[in-house]
């Protein structure tokens, strides 16, 4: 069956109760990537129901993600771009937020560190699929103070502290064994002693200029509310088309 004919038939069967699931089961349809979709209908997002301050709204949604036991609710995609404008993205962990912004920690000599040095702007994306929600945060990036870095570093497990020294992040390794040898040597070197904070490791703070809240809705007509920071520090709330 030609693709366009198959698509038209599926559209027709959509209006007949139980016909589309039965047809897919009989033909093996639904397994192709193009057929993978679901209807979002858990909740909605209305202007009159959100907080005036996006940080308060973030705290509310984050708390609900934790309560729902979403896996790694503080995991977020960090998107950066270097001076050449070429983007890159990876998952990092949020380690704190307040009125100043959202904080994560990493190796300053990594690819993301080099890109942030050349272009200190980034986007953060939280994706909580069980709640059919996303939050995108865009803003300028700066390093946190050394005192903040040291305070967080000594809250990490000792293995993670040593890992910050052992891994030349984003650099090519000869093999896994190379990394494991580095860790073993560091464990011997620092046995019974405090591990100093690496000078090339620390935190970044993303100071938001916009925060968008996304709630999945049926028929891909999702709710998107964006807060944009005004010059006086207040926030403007707008609805975006899905």
Whole-angstrom distance, CA of residue 199 vs CA of residue 117: 16
Tokens of 143: 């390093």
Choosing from 220, 224, 229, 230, the catalytic residue is: 220
Catalytic site includes residue 220: yes
CA distances from 126 to 42, 83, 91, 132, 137 (A): 18, 25, 10, 11, 9
Q: Following DSSP, what letter does each residue of 157-184 receive, concatenated?
A: -HHHHHHHHH--TTS--S-HHHHHHHHH
Distance CA 43, CA 114 (A): 40
CB atoms within 10 A of CB 107: 18
Q: Which residues are catalytic?
A: 220
């Amino acid at each position: 069956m030609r693709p366009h004919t198959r698509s038209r038939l599926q559209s027709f069967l959509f209006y007949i109760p139980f016909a589309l699931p039965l047809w897919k089961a009989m033909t093996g349809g639904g397994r192709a990537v193009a057929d993978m979709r679901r209807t979002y209908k858990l909740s909605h997002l209305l202007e009159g129901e959100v907080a005036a301050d996006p940080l308060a709204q973030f705290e509310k949604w984050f708390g609900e993600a934790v309560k729902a036991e979403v896996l790694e609710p503080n995991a977020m995609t960090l998107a950066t771009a270097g001076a050449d404008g070429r983007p890159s993205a990876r998952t990092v962990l949020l380690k704190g937020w307040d009125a100043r912004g959202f904080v994560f920690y990493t190796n300053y000599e990594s690819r993301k560190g080099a890109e942030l040095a050349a272009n200190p702007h980034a986007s953060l994306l939280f994706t909580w699929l069980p709640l059919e929600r996303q939050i995108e945060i865009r803003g300028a990036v700066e390093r946190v103070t050394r005192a903040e870095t040291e305070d967080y570093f000594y809250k990490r497990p000792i293995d993670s502290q040593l890992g910050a020294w052992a891994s030349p992040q984003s650099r090519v390794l000869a093999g896994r064994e190379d990394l494991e040898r580095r860790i073993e040597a560091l464990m011997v070197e620092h046995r019974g002693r405090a591990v100093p904070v690496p000078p090339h490791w620390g935190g970044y703070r993303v100071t938001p200029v916009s925060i968008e809240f996304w709630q999945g809705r049926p028929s891909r007509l999702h709710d998107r509310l964006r807060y944009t920071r005004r010059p006086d520090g207040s926030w403007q709330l707008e609805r975006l088309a899905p």
